[in-house]
Amino acid sequence: METVWKNVQSVIKKSVPGHSFRMWIGPLEFQSFQGGRLQVNSPNFFSRKRILDQYAALIEKEFEKITGEKCRLSVDISANQKKKPLSISSNPQMTLPNLNFQPRCGRLLSKNYTFDQFVVGNNNDLAYSAALSLASMKSSQQNSLFFLGKTGMGKSHLSQAIGHHLLSEHVTEKVYYITAEDFTNEMVNAFKNNSINQFKTKYRNGCDVLLLEDVHYLSGKKRTQEELSLTLESLHEADKKIIFSSCYLPSNIPGLNDKLRSRFSYSLISSIEPPDFRTRVRILKKKSIRNHMMISDDVINFLAGALTENVRQLESGLIGVTARASLLGKKIDLDLAENVVKDIVRIQKRITIDIIKKLVCKEFNVSVNDIVSRSRKRCYTRPRQIAMYLSRKYTDAPLQLIGKSYNRYHATTLHSINCVERGIKDNTIIKKQVEILTGKLDAGKF
Res. 92 pLDDT band, cuts 50 70 90 = very low
> Could you tell me how many helices (H) and strands (E) the chain has, helices first?
21, 9
Which band of pLDDT confidence, cut at 50, 70 and 90, is reported for residue 104? low
Of the residues 271, 286, 311, the one at which a domain ends: 271
Q: What pLDDT does 138 receive?
A: 60
Q: 113 and 12 in one domain?
A: no
Half-sphere exposure of 390 (CA within 13 A, CB side): 31
Range of the domain at 291: 277-349
The verdict on 310 and 262 lying in the same domain is no
Q: 103: closest CA among 202, 11, 26, 12? A: 202
* Domain shared by 135 and 64, yes or no: no
Please report the pLDDT score of residue 116 as a whole number.
87
* Predicted pLDDT of residue 232: 94
Average pLDDT over residues 187-191: 91
In a domain, 87, yes or no: no
Q: What is the dihedral of CA 433, 152, 185, 199, to 10 degrees?
A: 180
- Work out the pLDDT band at 348, boundaries 50, 70, 90: low
Residues 258 and 282 in one domain: no
pTM comes to: 0.69
How much is the pLDDT for 84?
A: 47
In the prediction, which pLDDT does 85 show?
Answer: 46
Q: What is the pLDDT of residue 86?
A: 40
Tens-digit pLDDT profile for residues 358-393: 999 999 999 999 999 988 888 999 999 999 999 988
Q: What value does the mean pLDDT take over residues 137-145?
A: 74
Which of 250, 271, 292 finishes a domain? 271
Q: Are residues 265 and 285 in the same domain?
A: no
Same domain (yes/no): 24, 157: no
Q: Are residues 179 and 308 in the same domain?
A: no
Give SS3 for 307.
Answer: coil
CATH of the domain at 366: 1.10.1750.10
- Domain match, 77 and 222 both: no
359 in the same domain as 310: no
What CATH number should be reported for the domain holding residue 12? 3.30.300.180
What is the average per-residue pLDDT within 411-419? Answer: 88
Q: Is the pLDDT of residue 443 over 80?
A: no
CA 349 – CA 240 distance, rounded (Å): 45
Is 338 a member of any domain?
Answer: yes
DSSP conformation letters of 198-230: HHHHHHHHS-SEEEEE-GGGGTT-HHHHHHHHH
CATH code where residue 230 lies = 3.40.50.300
Average pLDDT over residues 191-195: 91
- pLDDT band at residue 300, thresholds of 50, 70 and 90? very high
Q: Are residues 281 and 303 in the same domain?
A: yes
Question: What is the tally of structural domains in the chain?
Answer: 4
Looking at the chain, the whole-number percentage of residues with pLDDT higher than 90 is: 37
Lowest mean pLDDT among 167-171, 178-182, 268-272, 382-386: 167-171
Residue 362 has a pLDDT of 92
Report yes or no: 158 and 128 within 8 Å, Cβ to Cβ.
yes
176 found inside a domain? yes
Tens-digit pLDDT profile for residues 217-250: 888 888 999 999 999 999 999 999 999 999 889 9
The phi, psi pair for 240, rounded to 5°, reads: -85, 165
Cα–Cα nearest to 118, from 129, 102, 107, 106:
129
Domain contains 99: no
Q: Are strands 37-42 and 72-77 parallel, antiparallel or unpaired?
A: parallel
Is 96 part of any domain?
no
Q: Does any domain span residue 98?
A: no
* 245 and 172 belong to one structural domain: yes
Mean pLDDT over each residue of the chain, to the nearest integer: 86
Looking at residue 93, its pLDDT comes to 47
Domain at 330, CATH number: 1.10.8.60
Note the pLDDT of residue 411: 81
pLDDT for res 91: 46
Confidence class for position 95, pLDDT limits 50, 70, 90: very low
| Band of residue 124 on the pLDDT scale cut at 50, 70, 90 | very high
What band does 34 get if pLDDT is binned at 50, 70 and 90? confident
Q: Is residue 129 part of a domain?
A: yes
Mean pLDDT, range 192-202, rounded to an integer: 91
The last residue of one of the domains, among 331, 349, 367, is 349
Question: Is residue 99 very low, low, confident or very high in pLDDT (cuts 50, 70, 90)?
Answer: very low
Q: pLDDT by residue (tens digit) across 153-172?
A: 999 999 999 999 998 888 78
Confidence of residue 105 (pLDDT cuts 50, 70, 90): low
Residue 97 lies in a domain: no
List, for residues 40-57, the tens digit of each pLDDT value.
998 887 788 888 888 888
Shared-domain flag, residues 303 and 332: yes
User: Where does the pLDDT of residue 346 fall: very low under 50, low under 70, confident under 90, or very high at 90 and above?
Assistant: low
Q: Give exposure, 3-39, as e/b (b: 16+ Cβ within 10 Å).
A: eebeebbeebeeebeeebbbbbbebbebeebeeeebb
Q: What is the DSSP letter of 117?
A: G
